[in-house]
Amino acid sequence: MGMLKPKFWDYYDVAAGPYKHLFNFRRIWKWAVLLTAGVSLLPLISITLIDYDFTQRAIESEIMLRTSRLVSNTRRSISFFLAERKSALNFIDHENTFEELNDHIRLGEIMVNLKNAFGGFVDLGVIDSSGTQRTYVGPYKLEGKDYSNQDWFREVVTRGVYISDVFLGFRRVPHLVIAVKHALPNGSFHVLRATLDTDKFNDLLSKLELSGMGDAFIINHEGILQTPSHSHGGVLEKISLPIPEYAPVTQALEEKSSNGAPLVIGYRYIANTPFILMIVEQKKELMKPWHKTRLELLGFLVVSITIILGVILGGATYLVNRVYLADQRRIMTLHEVEYSNKMASIGRLASGVAHEINNPLAIINEKAGLIKDLITFKKNSTKDPKLIGLVDSVLSSVERCGRITKRLLGFVRHMEVSVQPIKLDEIIHDVLGFLDKEAEYRSIAISVEIPNDIPQLESDRGKLQQIFLNVINNAFAAMSDGGHLDITARREDKDFVSATITDNGYGIPEEDLERVFEPFFSTKTKKGGTGLGLSITYGLIQDIGGRISVQSEEGKGTSFIITLPLKMAQKEGSET
Amino acid sequence: MKILLVDDEEDLVSTLAERLSFRGIDADWVTSCEDALKKVETEKYDLAVLDVKIPRISGIELGRRLKEKDPEMGFIFMTGHGSDDDFKAGSAEAGAEYYLVKPVNIELLIEKMKKVLED
């Protein structure tokens, strides 16, 4: 997790001032991620949810519609099946006189024709207006049977037609009866009655292609199954479902089965019959295609969200990191500019002070000099040695002040520079030449390691000498006798080399490190330091386009790193 | 050897002149450019010691004008008040050899004078 954490995460710019939020990168990142994720994910999620709901409802309504259509079509086939047979009986009734129908042979021929034309006819009988079966063709002896008290006879007399419920005949085979009444012009009538087996009827239903473990069957108004069903009981058993409410048109509705599973039920009351056609399907099965679609939809959503979040997180992190790095560069530049400006201001102030002090100092110098001259040159003077000593002390103090002001002036003075090719090791050895005696006297060991691949510099020899002299002198002052001084150099890049001067002296406290290049900042004022050495060095290094930095640990020593350009940039106006 | 000292600080030049006289050098002093230019009309000087920063015209300019009047005259410049530009100009024109920063050591001054006169 730590490796994934971007650089800006824990950064907090204490110096940002009242506009802190501008530099709170974590906050910028959070807002960027939240806003982008918000505007891209919200529409995606809402569209997906809307589509989810819409598709689900569309599929449900499609299921209802399909069931309803199937019921309608099947109802038409069944109605047609019954109407066809009813019409056939009506036709026979009208085509033949009562006498012809009562002719046993003629009725037999009609029965054969019906069986051939339609199939499923089991018997055929003629009943006169008193309810007595006059003629009968079929497997039973039913001639002379009196039906006058039976409900079906009364119904056919009243309504002209009768279609019975399914019943088990003597042979234990399900049958149904169709009877039609033929009214004669003389007010009399007779009834033609036929028994049909229900095989054809069952065929019609079993041939339906039902999805979702569907079940198509017919019940009567009491809920008794007229045709076999797969899962709601056998023929002439009561169905396990409630009897659907009467409606003149096809209905489709949702119902729960006895075990709680959702069912889709389509039904239709078949007019002028005791039959209700029902198609029952398992909703779960019907919704299977929807489940697949739903899974695809959710998968699409999850994949999309993952990709979008990945892109947003990656993008925001990358961009905020770039802003952070740019800001870091800005702060660094700002600090550098601030420091240079500060040094320049201090320099101007210092030189101003030096100039102002020099004149009165010169007067003191001349007056004290005159006093000495008066004592020394006048013939009648007492030549008091104490007086001469006092004047000498004044003169040497003035000289010391003069040295300080001269160095102050040197801190800002930009002398003409002369650029020439210089070898770094040569310069360092030249400088060490000045200090040989002191090093020997104080037993300071000096090691110089300058690799051969350090190229020649094009720079100002005088300034370089002064720079190294100041820094090495400084190192000497920071060490006790018997110390160790290391001078190394290396190539930084194609334009710069650096020299590092490391001593094992007292070191500089951390709180002083930032101030070592300021004028008058000295830790050895009591030992005669002016606090100008390093500030002058700083100015000189800037003059020749280099940099100086310092690392130190108290009690262990200090390293000054001087970075110099291989080719000194000529300042504007001094180009030759 | 007769020399002319020019500096707007009377205290400084008068004392310096007196000290030089102790060392056998005949020195006149003035505190303004006008006086200096007047002085050279009547007197002949081997050398002029000029402050770089004197009111109205700079020491460098004064040096140039004096040189017009007396091309044989030598010059030494002193500064304690001069800007960087004065210093640069002075160094370039007079040469750093003849350029001293105040406070000036009198023995060093005499040494320089001798050197200028030799040249």
What is the Cα–Cα distance from A315 to A306, expressed in whole angstroms? 14
Percentage, residues of chain A above pLDDT 70: 90
Q: Between A19 and B77, whose confidence is greater?
A: B77
Which tens digits make up the pLDDT trace of A177-230?
999 999 888 888 999 999 998 888 788 888 887 776 788 999 999 999 999 888
Q: Is B18 on the interface with A (CB under 8 A)?
A: yes
Lowest mean pLDDT among A101-105, A211-215, A272-276, B50-54: A211-215
Element housing A553 (H / E): strand A547-553
- What digits encode the pLDDT tens for the residues A37-67? 999 999 999 998 998 899 899 999 999 999 9
Mutate to test the interface with A, among B102, B105, B107, B110 (most CBs of A within 10 A): B102
Q: What is the pLDDT of residue A284?
A: 87
CATH 3.40.50.2300 is right for the domain spanning B2-118: yes
Q: What is the pTM of this model?
A: 0.52
Which element (helix H / strand E) includes A91? helix A25-95
Best to test chain A binding among B5, B19, B86, B104 (most A CBs inside 10 Å): B19
Closest residue in A to B16 (Cα) is: A366
Name the pairing type of β-strands A161-163 and A133-137: unpaired
Question: What confidence tens digit (pLDDT) does each residue in B56-70 have?
Answer: 887 888 888 888 888
**B9 close to A (CB below 8 A):** yes
User: What's the mean pLDDT when you consider all of chain B?
Assistant: 84
Measured distance CA(B33)–CA(B57) in Å, rounded: 7
**Nearest by Cα to A418 from A458, A460, A457:** A460
Residue of B nearest to A402 (CA): B103
pLDDT of residue A364: 94
Each residue's pLDDT tens digit, A243-272: 999 999 999 999 888 888 899 999 999 988
The beta-carbon neighbor of B9 closest among A359, A376, A413 is: A359
What is the structure's pLDDT at A570? 58
**What is the per-residue pLDDT for A7?**
78
Average pLDDT over residues A419-445: 84
Across A95-120, average pLDDT: 91
- CA-nearest of A480, A490, A489, A499 to A557 is A480
Q: Do B80 and A359 touch (CB under 8 A)?
A: yes
Q: Which residues of B touch A369 (CB under 8 A)?
A: 15, 19, 106
User: What pLDDT is attached to residue A572?
Assistant: 43
Mean pLDDT of the A380-385 span: 80
Whether the pLDDT of residue A573 is over 50: the answer is no
Nearest chain A CA: its distance from B97 CA (Å): 15
- Is pLDDT of A519 > 80? no
Amino acid at A379: K
Question: How confident is residue A529, by pLDDT bands cut at 50, 70 and 90?
Answer: low
Distance CA A285, CA A373 (A): 128
Least confident of A133-137, A514-518, B36-40: A514-518
Q: In the predicted model, is pLDDT for residue A154 greater than 50? A: yes
What residue ranges do the domains of chain B occupy?
A: 2-118
pLDDT of residue A532: 67
Chain B nearest CA to A564, separation (Å):
25
Which pair of tokens denotes residue A408? 């102050």
- Among chain A residues, the shortest Cα distance to B88 is held by A415
Mutation site, A366, A374, A391, A396, interface B, largest B CB count within 10 A: A366
| Residues of chain A positioned with their CB less than 8 A from the CB of B11 | 363, 366-367
User: Does the distance separating the beta carbons of B105 and A370 come in below 8 Å?
Assistant: no
CB contact under 8 A, B101 and A358: yes
**CATH code linked to domain A414-569:** 3.30.565.10
Q: State the average pLDDT over residues A331-341.
A: 74
Tell me the pairing of strands B74-79 and B47-51. Answer: parallel
* CA of B56 vs chain A CAs: smallest distance (Å): 18
pLDDT band at A384 (very low <50, low <70, confident <90, very high): confident
One-character DSSP codes across A17-64: GGGGGGG-HHHHHHHHHHHHHHHHHHHHHHHHHHHHHHHHHHHHHHHH
Q: Does the pLDDT of residue A20 top 50, yes or no?
A: yes
Q: State the pLDDT at residue A304.
A: 93
State yes or no: pLDDT of A294 exceeds 80.
yes
Question: How many contacts does A have with B, using Cβ atoms within 8 A?
Answer: 74
Helix (H, G, I), strand (E, B) or coil at A211: coil
**Mean pLDDT (whole number) for B7-17:** 91
Average model confidence (pLDDT) across chain A:
85
A9: confidence class by pLDDT, cuts 50, 70, 90:
confident
How far apart (Å, rounded) are the C-alpha atoms in residues B37 and B66? 7
Interface of A with B in 399-438 (CB under 8 A): 399, 401-402, 405-406, 409, 412-416
Burial state string for A354-393 with b = 16 or more CB within 10 A and e = fewer than 16: bbebbbbbbbbbbbbbbbbbebeeeeeeeeeeeeeeebee
Q: Tell me, which fold does domain A60-286 have in CATH?
A: Beta-Lactamase (3.30.450)
| pLDDT at position A359 | 84
Is the CB of residue A550 less than 8 Å from the CB of residue A426?
no
Contact criterion met (CB < 8 Å) for B81 and A358: yes
Cross-chain CB nearest to A402 (options B88, B92, B103): B103
The answer to whether A445 and A408 have CB atoms below 8 angstroms apart is no
